[in-house]
Amino acid sequence: MKHAVIGYATSKGVAMMTKEDANRLTHVNLAFGTIQDGLLYTSKLQSLSELDRLRSYNPKLRIVLSVGGWGAGGFSIMAKSRASRKAFVDSVRDTMDRHRLDGVDIDWEYPCSGAADIDFSADDRENFTHLMRELRDMAGNRIVSIAAGAGDYFTRDTQMDLVAEACDYVQLMTYDMRSGFSRQAGHHTALDAGPDDPDGMTVKRAVQLFRNAGVPDSKLVIGAAFYSRRWEGVPNKNNGLLQPAQTVGLFGPGYTELANNYIGKNGWHAFWDENAQAPYLYNGSELISYDDPASIAAKCKYLREQGLLGIMYWEHSCDPSRALLTAMHEAMA
């Protein structure tokens, strides 16, 4: 089985992508196109000028335009009618043709939810399915994919069995599973969890949720984090793990910065959670959760054993050292 290794890359991430990077990936997701006045909008996406360079590095690399992201609205209004969906789908087709893109990735965060202060409706559940089917009909043999939130809120508010039929693959955002909504300091991108963490979301629990919702293993892609989450005001108990914090999970440093300035340095102590198969840092009052080469290797081993399609990560520019992409490449070789 040929496994997918997919990197989300902002314009900064694409600009720093090397020939070696491009040949370690099967797909690049360009982040992000947005929706304006119901149509796909890309004029601020600087990475489109880099596509010929990426293709010269690896002609087999599939370059996919990702639309949306956290806080990107317009989906619910666009998807509410056949006519408005058609206008959007036509704009996606035109963009793919113009830039010779290999597909489109829909990152709607999230149907039926206003958590990100975007437009939403109870009708999003069915309209999401309509949108993905219509993109599928338009795309032909080009890629249609989604990024899916790793939680029961996403499977509850979508028809994942029908959406999966329209998709080449479903990318589970198995990061931020403890995030800007959680005051419990803990793992945000762990493979598994021990008995002391019965309710925390993990890669394994998210995969089972989507299996139960009708997504076949052959279309499941799990996620890795090239950045960290950080909690402050964490009691010095159990090295801070699973303790109540004074903050929610703040966006933390990328892996290269962690390796250079945090891991085992400047008062930060590194720990490995065998149950979670994940690392974390604690300095007596703050906890940082992240992926490292060992946790990446564990995720890759799991997906291969389970027959899943592959692994993706957010985001390429967070690790200029390439330590995590190297670990991913070696584990998937």
Within a domain: 247: no
Within a domain: 95: yes
**Domain range for residue 304?**
4-226+291-332
235-258: b (≥16 Cβ within 10 Å) or e: eeeebbbbbebeebbeebbbbbbb
Among 90, 33, 29, 94, smallest CA distance to 64 is for 29
The domain tally of the chain equals 1
pLDDT band, residue 1 (cuts 50/70/90): low
Within a domain: 202: yes
232 in active site: no
Of 50, 109, 134, 257, which one is the catalytic site residue?
109
Among 227, 230, 208, 228, smallest CA distance to 217 is for 208
pLDDT band, residue 44 (cuts 50/70/90): confident
φ/ψ of residue 265, rounded to 5? -135, 160
pLDDT at 265: 98
Within a domain: 168: yes
DSSP for residue 2: P
pLDDT in tens, 220-270: 999 999 999 999 999 999 999 999 999 999 999 999 999 999 999 999 999
Domain containing 154 — which CATH number?
Answer: 3.20.20.80
Within a domain: 77: yes
Among 109, 224, 220, 205, smallest CA distance to 151 is for 205
Instruction: Determine if the pTM surpasses 0.95.
Output: yes
Query: DSSP of 137-151, one letter per residue?
Result: HHHTTSEEEEEEESS
Greatest alpha-carbon span in the chain = 58
Within a domain: 102: yes
Average pLDDT, the chain: 97
CA distance 45 to 30: 8
Within a domain: 72: yes
CA atoms within 13 A on the CB side of 213: 27
pLDDT in tens, 164-203: 999 999 999 999 999 989 999 999 999 999 999 998 999 9
Within a domain: 255: no
Among 86, 69, 73, smallest CA distance to 131 is for 86
